[in-house]
Structures are given as structure tokens and as C-alpha cells.
A and B are shown apart, each in its own frame.
Chain A
Amino acid sequence: AQSVAQPEDQVNVAEGNPLTVKCTYSVSGNPYLFWYVQYPNRGLQFLLKYITGDNLVKGSYGFEAEFNKSQTSFHLKKPSALVSDSALYFCAVRENGGFKTIFGAGTRLFVKA
């Protein structure tokens, strides 16, 4: 069965510092991996995805994520955090050829000015 773990409920970072939001996954086949962001009173917005190819994928708003097959991880990163990055971030996985996307519990990111 597919599963996603986001080990941190909350991440705090100062503006201008690099940020990392962690995600590990379990899936029986090759994974499709995603990051979504949710701002207050809004639906989830797609940030980036890994399907195949380069392990480092780049997405919206300067975010990137690194796929590590041996560690079954897909951590979200940004070199320099902005206060406006403060939001709830969800990691998600779908098995290649599967039909359902499974979400992690979410990590709340606070960026302090």
C-alpha cells in the first residue's frame, strides 16, 4: 500500500535562510511524487512533481525537490526563504500506473522576518 510520511508538523526558518521540508514515501512500484502548497482559506496548489529523469526537480516560486530512491525521500527545498512562503505544505505519492494520489499529513512552514 502507498503511504507518505512528513515527519515534521512544523518547520521554522528565518527569512533569507535555506529551508527544507522533509518527506518519505512507500510505494510498491515506481513513484510519481508531488508537492502541493496550501495558503489560508485556499485550495491546494501544485508546486512540482517527479516522474522520471533528473533527481532534482524545479517548481514554482523557486522551490525544488530532490528525489532519493535509496532513501525513499522527496524533500522540498528552497535556497532563500521568504515570509510569503509561510503556508501548509503537502507531499503526495502516486504509484506509476495507479489511480490514487495519497497525501501526507502536511507540514506547516513559518518564515520569520
Chain B
Amino acid sequence: DADVTQTPRNRITKTGKRIMLECSQTKGHDRMYWYRQDPGLGLRLIYYSFDVKDINKGEISDGYSVSRQAQAKFSLSLESAIPNQTALYFCATSDFVNSVALYFGPGTRLTVL
């Protein structure tokens, strides 16, 4: 997990606030992902990026935006948070050439009141 870091680890905010979750990786991987985990639903893909100039929507992108500031940094924003965005958010990376597995950060627990 130390190769993929997420900040903050926990965040409580209010409805309507703008929130940014940040992810950094030292694995040198080109691909980065944001997933959301809800109990009983597993992980659902929000956005993914294959390089700095490539951003793609996942299954549940509505209400979210992302920015790939560098190969090692991928941030997720909630422009106007709502309570049903309360969840555990994971950043993940992969190296398509050498490994198809995902490597996850420790997660950010977000609560929207």
C-alpha cells in the first residue's frame, strides 16, 4: 500500500461543499483509477486514466470529475457533495505491460452530512 498513497484518509463534509481527494503513486505505473466501495455493492469504477492526456468515464462518473496532473498524481473531485456520495474511495494503479493486476491505495473514507 505504501506505493500508492491517498489523502486525506478520512473526511467529513457537508452537502454542497467541494471536495478533492488526492492520489499519488511511486510505482511508475501509467494507468490510474478511482473506485468507490459501498457495502454489498463491491467496487465500482468512477474514472480511469491511461496517461496524462487520457481521461475516461467509468460506471458511475456523474457528480465526479478528475484531473491527472502528472503520471504519478490523479485527483478526484466532488464539485457539490451529496449524502449518497458517502463511501470509501480507492485509488488504484496498474502497469499494462508488466502486470494486469491493480494495486490499491489505503482508501479515503468520505462522509457527506
Q: Which residues of A contact B (CB under 8 A)?
A: 4, 9, 32, 34, 36, 41-46, 49, 51, 90, 92, 94, 99-106
Contact = CB atoms under 8 A, between A and B. Distances in A.
A34 B106 CA distance: 19
Nearest to A32: B100
Given A99-B48, A99-B56, A100-B58, A44 B42 contact: no
Contact of A44 (B40, B50, B102): B102
Given A103-B42, A106-B40, 18 more contacts: A32-B100, A41-B106, A42-B107, A43-B104, A43-B105, A44-B43, A44-B90, A44-B102, A45-B1, A45-B104, A46-B101, A46-B103, A99-B48, A99-B50, A100-B45, A100-B58, A102-B45, A105-B40
A15 to B, nearest CB: 26
Contact of A43 (B40, B56, B106): B106
Q: Find the residue from A41, A43, A94, A103 having the highest chain B CB count within 10 A.
A: A43
B97 interface: no
Interface in B30-80: 33, 35, 40-45, 48, 50, 56, 58
B4 interface: yes
Nearest to B6: A43
B98 to A, nearest CB: 12
5 contacts: A42-B106, A43-B107, A44-B92, A46-B101, A92-B102
Nearest to B56: A99
